Amino acid sequence: MSPLMLDRRRLLLRATSLAAVGLLPGCDYNDPKHPDISDRILQFMSRFNDRVQAALFDPHKLAPTFSENLITNPPRFNAFYDIAQAPEVDPLTFRLKVSGLVTDQSAWSLDRLRSMTQESQITRMTCVEGWRVIGQWSGVPLRQFLAKIGADLTARYVTFRCADGYYSSIDMPSALQAQTILALDFLGKPLTAPFGAPVRLRIPVKLGFKNPKSVTAIEVGNTYTGGYWEDQGYNWFSGS
């Protein structure tokens, strides 16, 4: 090999490694309000993945269900705070607020939620971190709740706001999937504070962080509302 060629090779290698080092660690989503060039590429790809997942989503496809002996007990706690800091919501004064594209905006007490038909299921909750638990949740199918409040079922988003400041939003087709419930009970007993008392969203067709706990308000609308983790860079659709 001629010395010239060797130099060209070295130069090329150096140039590519420099480019790789310069580009790759750039995106950390450290400052979502001021995205750099690689942040913008990744955000574009994440929006693209939202559309792909929406297209892949089969509303009739049921998430797998499991037998009772596979239930993870005790369940695994996970939140953006310590277990001792989970919000305590008084079940007697609790009201679930409803707003947006709905005909009946009256708030819901727990008794009123419990008076509706309850659905029970043993499903897998998959965390974005990679681990999974299996649990038995029961509560009000969200599609029946949405029908009851006269929600516009052609709206794009259903947003959930929580007692701990957490929030998240989901697409309407996933909200209407048969296994998506407003869970009130775990293993036949009312939810406890760290696990979302008094009511949480349980949606087996999405990752764990799309299952907001201690929900206090539900909004139906066509404006994108993001979410606590989604606004920091997690993929919004995050379907399973």
Partner 1 sequence: MPMTNPGPAKIRAIHPLPLRIMHGVNALAIVTMIGSGWQIYDASPLFDFNFPSSITIGQWLGAAIAWHLAAMWLLMLNGLAYLIWGISSGHFRRKFLPLAPRKIITEFAAALRFQLPHQSGVYNQVQRAMYVGIIALGIIMVISGLAIWKPVQFSWLTDLCGGYFIARYVHFFAMSLIVAFIIIHLLLVALIPKVLWPMIAGGQVKEAP
By beta-carbon proximity to partner 1, the closer residue of 14 and 95 is 14
Least gap, CB of 206 to partner 1 (angstroms)? 9
By beta-carbon proximity to partner 1, the closer residue of 70 and 147 is 70
By beta-carbon proximity to partner 1, the closer residue of 114 and 132 is 132
**DSSP 8-state secondary structure symbol assigned to residue 223:** S
Least gap, CB of 39 to partner 1 (angstroms)? 9
Contacting positions for partner 1 (CB under 8 A): 1, 5, 9, 12, 20, 24-25, 27-30, 41-43, 45-46, 48-49, 56-58, 61, 63-64, 124, 126-132, 204-205, 229, 232-235, 239-240
Least gap, CB of 5 to partner 1 (angstroms)? 7
Locate the DSSP E strands across 61-205: 97-100, 119-126, 132-141, 157-162, 167-171, 181-186, 189-190, 200-202
Rounded CA gap, 199 and 145, in Å? 13
Rounded CA gap, 212 and 216, in Å? 10
CA terminus-to-terminus distance, the chain: 53
Least gap, CB of 226 to partner 1 (angstroms)? 13
The single-letter code of the amino acid at 102 is V
By beta-carbon proximity to partner 1, the closer residue of 132 and 148 is 132
By beta-carbon proximity to partner 1, the closer residue of 122 and 149 is 122
The single-letter code of the amino acid at 4 is L
By beta-carbon proximity to partner 1, the closer residue of 8 and 95 is 8
The answer to whether 161 and 216 are in contact (CB under 8 A) is yes
- What are the CA-CA distances from residue 214 to residues 3, 48, 88, 189, 236 (Å)? 69, 31, 9, 15, 20
Determine how many CB atoms are found less than 10 A away from the CB of residue 58: 9
Least gap, CB of 208 to partner 1 (angstroms)? 11
**DSSP 8-state secondary structure symbol assigned to residue 48:** H
Least gap, CB of 9 to partner 1 (angstroms)? 6
